[in-house]
Chain A
Amino acid sequence: MTNKNISFWLFILPALFALAVVVFYPFLYGFYYTFTDWNGLTATTFLGFENYINVFQDESFTDAIKFTIIFAVVSIILVNLIGLGLAVLVTQKMKINNGLRTIFFMPNLIGGLILGFIWQFIFKSGFDAVGRLLDLEFLQGWLATTETGFWGLVILNVWQYAGYIMIIYISYLQSVPGELLEAAEIDGASVFQRFWRIKFPLVAPAFTVSLFLTLSNAFKLYDQNLALTNGGPYGSTEMLAMEIYKTAFSRYEMAFAQSKAVLFFILVALVAVTQVYWNKKREVDM
């Protein structure tokens, strides 16, 4: 198939056209209007970099950046630790392995919005009931404060994605040669040693994939944020995606919202590229 071949173009055209119309054209179109006072329909004045300068003075945006970054860091660590833990657990030759895998993975099939609503009930009513039963004050009044809203989002996120990340770790763990482990066992290596010295280094590539997935998930989180806290109390648990949405569709400041969206892209792309580059480099070094 050469470029001059008409069938080459016919084969790629539908997908390429959709990508261009849905992703690239809107991206460039939106980028252009960030330099104007665009209201979603028309623009009258050219503003230069004014929108971008204002973005950094918008506290609701800078607060959302801070909240999102802290959330991402805490989530990534917990999702990966627990995901790896679950993967190690369900790869020990137990009879209930498959059942456990099925259960841990299940939340991923259900949308973030529905999961968020379910957990809203768990935090507000379930935690409260257990708290009163056992007389534990810290379990009462969840989602009413910034702190419990933050940890609520973290718990939901960990519960949802740990099973997903577990699946990735499992496929790498299963590629660890059995003879290697047996040999180590005969030589007297403990369970712990076998994990750290043999499995862990061989599973390193899984970190690249898992970190990339958890990171981009955490940064782009919207549905769970909407369903669980809706940014409350007083917008203090608003993450980046929601902040951009509200600027556009509640405050109707379209050009301003799009400027935030462009910065959001730069942030997400930068983090993703650095992270993949860093991980690839480390993999080679090992």
Chain B
Amino acid sequence: MHQKKKRYKMWLTIIGLVIALIWLSPFYLMLVNAFKTKFDIFNSVLALPETLTLDNFRQAFIDLDFLNALMNSLIVSGASILIIIIFSSMAAYALSRNKSRLSGGIFLIFVAAMLIPFQSVMIPLISIFGKVNMLNTSGLIFMYLGFGSSLSIFLYHGAVKGIPVSLDEAAMIDGASRWTIFWKIIFPMLKPITMTVMILNVIWIWNDYLLPSLVLSQAYATIPLRMFFFFGQYTKQWHLALAGLTIAIIPVVLIYFFAQKHIIKGVADGAVK
């Protein structure tokens, strides 16, 4: 029985490893071919590179204007997520503590908004924001608050419900204002769900292409946007395109490497609630 179990586990491990290799193969092919010359790729896609030259990466890095794009992405994602966390947690707290019908109605409006796909509002949205000259980075950040608040409020709302009202009441008797109660007592207790909200929004906003492509001009382009222009330039030159793609995913892979446990937990919590 024991022997049989051991064997079974060994087979399972082998199957797992084979699937993992298949899963990683696109990244592997991207990486090895990013080191090759155009001629080498044409000759053999599957072979290892003959020489380890960083020329492709150097040129892709410059043509992507990568540091600038990285900076733009950090500003857009950082600012959007910060205001989503601040305003969603505040709104969820108020909506959860107020038991009136009006409050329930407003909460329902936030939840219902999740049913509206982005493409259904995209055209008028761009037209309206264009009229008031808000097709820029700050306009984009504000749009992310609008699109991101629904799910974030929904998640925070559930978490606030789990915090006893007696905590608020005790602080109230001590003369604390709502503002103080929220930021000093409630918000710190929401830390686990704040992590989830942050992770879900980072994954979405960092990678978003369509909305920034409609809002931002070239100079303020985020990484996906810059990648799109870059790729258009190099459709017949895979060696440079692949080097650019590799550079673009390095920040994400690095963060994933250090925070994978939190990220996976955040995604699981966000989906299950």
Binding site for B on A (CB under 8 A): 1-3, 5, 7-8, 11-12, 14-16, 18-19, 21-27, 29-30, 33, 40-41, 86, 89-90, 92-96, 99-114, 117-119, 121-122, 125-126, 128-130, 133, 159, 163-164, 167-168, 170-172, 209, 213, 216, 219-220, 222-223, 226-227, 240-241, 244-245, 248-249, 254, 257-258, 261-262, 264-265, 268-269, 272-273
Contact = CB atoms under 8 A, between A and B. Distances in A.
Interface string B58-101: 00000000000000000000000001000110110111011010
Given A7-B179, A109-B252, A126-B45, A22 B125 contact: yes
18 contacts: A3-B98, A8-B103, A25-B128, A26-B124, A30-B124, A86-B19, A95-B13, A100-B20, A102-B260, A113-B228, A114-B224, A118-B245, A125-B41, A159-B23, A261-B120, A265-B115, A265-B117, A269-B115
A182 B30 CA distance: 45
B220 interface: no
B137 to A, nearest CB: 15
Interface residues of B, number: 89
A15 B153 contact: yes
Given A18-B145, A103-B24, A273 B115 contact: yes
Contact of B100 (A2, A23, A119): A2
5 pairs of A and B residues whose beta carbons are closest in the complex: A22-B146, A111-B207, A30-B124, A11-B94, A265-B120
A167 B267 contact: yes
Nearest to A129: B45
A129 B46 contact: yes
Name the residue in A110, A128, A265, A273 with the highest tally of chain B Cβ atoms < 10 Å from its Cβ: A110
Q: Is the interface of B mostly helix, strand, loop or mixed?
A: helix
B167 to A, nearest CB: 14
Contacts of A24: 109, 113
A24 B110 CA distance: 10
A15 B121 contact: no
B250 to A, nearest CB: 11
Contacts of B210: 222-223, 245
Given A22-B142, A30-B123, 16 more contacts: A5-B178, A7-B179, A12-B91, A15-B88, A15-B91, A15-B145, A26-B128, A30-B124, A106-B253, A109-B252, A114-B245, A125-B41, A126-B29, A172-B272, A223-B207, A257-B123
Q: Is the interface of A mostly helix, strand, loop or mixed?
A: helix
Contacts of B248: 114
Nearest to A175: B272
B164 interface: no
A92 B16 CA distance: 11
A11 B146 contact: no
Interface of B: 9, 12-13, 15-17, 19-20, 23-27, 29-30, 33, 41, 44-46, 83, 87-88, 90-91, 93-95, 97-98, 100, 102-103, 106, 109-110, 113, 115-125, 127-128, 142-143, 145-147, 149-150, 153, 177-179, 182, 203, 206-210, 214, 224, 227-228, 231, 238, 241-242, 245, 248-249, 252-253, 256, 260, 263-264, 267-268, 271-272
Contacts of B263: 105, 109
Name the residue in B20, B93, B147 with the highest tally of chain A Cβ atoms < 10 Å from its Cβ: B20
Given A19-B149, A129-B44, A261 B122 contact: yes
A171 B117 contact: no
Contacts of A14: 83, 87, 90-91, 145
Given A3-B100, A95-B13, A117 B231 contact: yes
